[in-house]
Amino acid sequence: MNKKIFTPEESLLLIAQTIEETKQRFKNNGHIIIFWGFLTFMVTLSQFILLQLELYRINLYPCYLYPVGGIYTALYLWRKNQGNPQPQTPIGRILMATGGALGLNLLLLGFIFSDKLGEAMASVFLILLAFFLIVCGVSIKFKPLIVGGILLNLIGFAAFYFDSTYHPLIMSIGSVTGLIIPGILLNKNK
């Protein structure tokens, strides 16, 4: 196997190209960020309304839309890659694996360990999601995603100071701030 030794300039150029390719793919799939933002907004706002109506027994039902959203996302990405398979960049593979791990962990935390998290659940979810958004924003050098992640992180910390009946509303605000607005800006940048 013949390995080429790159000059420092060639190495920097390769890194810049990799970041740009990943950013372009993010832009091409930017509607997924908007989709998850709107899904989270609808689910959490529905939960807030159900809590305000004192329908405590059914306020978790909207959460069953999250696995449906995961299936949609997986099928969309699978079908998109079937028609035009392109080699993924290392950054893209890292972000895809991190996003998948985050989604699976949030699903398990929400459906299996919610009683253990108690009133900290909304804050934990928002902070974990914020971490992922900041990593994505830094990886593709997209400031609105970084800012959205930082604001979402602050919203997650602020949720500790609110009664748990307001956590779904806080998560709705967080979905607009961290996902919908940066997703629209990313799509607009396309």
Segment 47-93, tens digit of pLDDT: 999 999 999 889 889 999 999 999 998 888 888 777 666 667 777 77
Q: Note the pLDDT of residue 85.
A: 60
Structural domain count, the chain: 1
Classify residue 39: in a domain, yes or no: yes
Q: Note the pLDDT of residue 123.
A: 93
Classify residue 155: in a domain, yes or no: yes
Phi-psi region of 189 (alpha: psi -120 to 50; beta: other; left: phi over 0): alpha
| pTM for the whole structure | 0.81
Is residue 31 predicted with pLDDT exceeding 80? yes
Structural domain for 175, as ranges: 25-81+88-188
